[in-house]
Amino acid sequence: MSSVNLLSGTGVKNKGFTLIELVVVIVILGILAVTAAPRFLNMQVDARNSALQAMKGAIASSLEMGYGVLAMHGLEKVPQFDNKKQTVPIPKCESGVPCDFRYGYPAPDSTTLTSLVDHLGNRFGKEDWALIRTASDNQNYSVTITTSDNVEKTINGNIESLKNENCHIRYYASQAIDKPYRLEITPCQ
């Protein structure tokens, strides 16, 4: 009976990669990684822009529902309406939270919009989205809505600034019956 030694390698050719083949493969993988990385990094910007679009839709929907409630009570054409002296027929505005409306849409303040829109808070809240008033907002009768991590510390009392001047929504309040609110997105870059 004869024995065969399979481990000795006699008659069997060694199989494996040479050093040159390994270097070539590593170089090719490096080139692929360099070309693919910008696409993956751009996905984060796309995700943030999608989140801005979703929040704009949520705000617009909330504003229209609020307008509908005020219209059912005949308050959609009133130039200025708040709950200081009368009851606002919107649930979160009835609980003592100051709410102010212009021509059926919220005034650009930190309480009315945050009462209407879920997950929107002011600069001191713990919500994902923050409503802030920047220097340009004071001149334009508007407020800025951005992610909470994009808000710079308070400057001069009530004026905030954005860490990134892109990546926000600006809400312009209604100025007249024929000039409804506007929502403008400045996309992330």
* DSSP collapsed to 3 states, 8-38: CCCCCCCCCCCHHHHHHHHHHHHHHHHHHHH
Distance CA 104, CA 66 (A): 8
Question: What is the pLDDT at residue 35?
Answer: 85
Within-domain flag for 39: yes
Within-domain flag for 142: yes
Q: Which residues contact 54 (CB under 8 A, 6 or more apart)?
A: none
Within-domain flag for 4: no
**Residue bearing tokens 């919107």:** 90
Question: What is the pLDDT at residue 60?
Answer: 96
Question: What is the pLDDT at residue 186?
Answer: 95
Q: In this structure, what token pair is assigned to residue 3?
A: 């024995």
Within-domain flag for 40: yes
Within-domain flag for 143: yes
Within-domain flag for 1: no
Question: What is the pLDDT at residue 62?
Answer: 93
Question: What is the pLDDT at residue 8?
Answer: 55
For the chain, residues with pLDDT lower than 70 are 1-14, 95, 123-125, 135-139, 153-159
Question: What is the pLDDT at residue 137?
Answer: 64
Domain count, the chain: 1
The partner residues of 176 in beta bridges, in order of sequence, read 179
Question: What is the pLDDT at residue 43?
Answer: 83
Question: What is the pLDDT at residue 110?
Answer: 81
Within-domain flag for 3: no
What letter does residue 151 receive in the DSSP assignment?
B
First to last CA, the chain: 77
pTM, two decimal places: 0.75
149 residue type, one letter: D
Distance CA 113, CA 181 (A): 12
Question: What is the pLDDT at residue 51?
Answer: 94
154 residue type, one letter: T
Within-domain flag for 161: yes
**How many CB atoms neighbour CB 105 within 10 A?**
22
* Residue-number span of the structural domain to which 95 is assigned: 20-186
**How many CB atoms neighbour CB 70 within 10 A?**
21
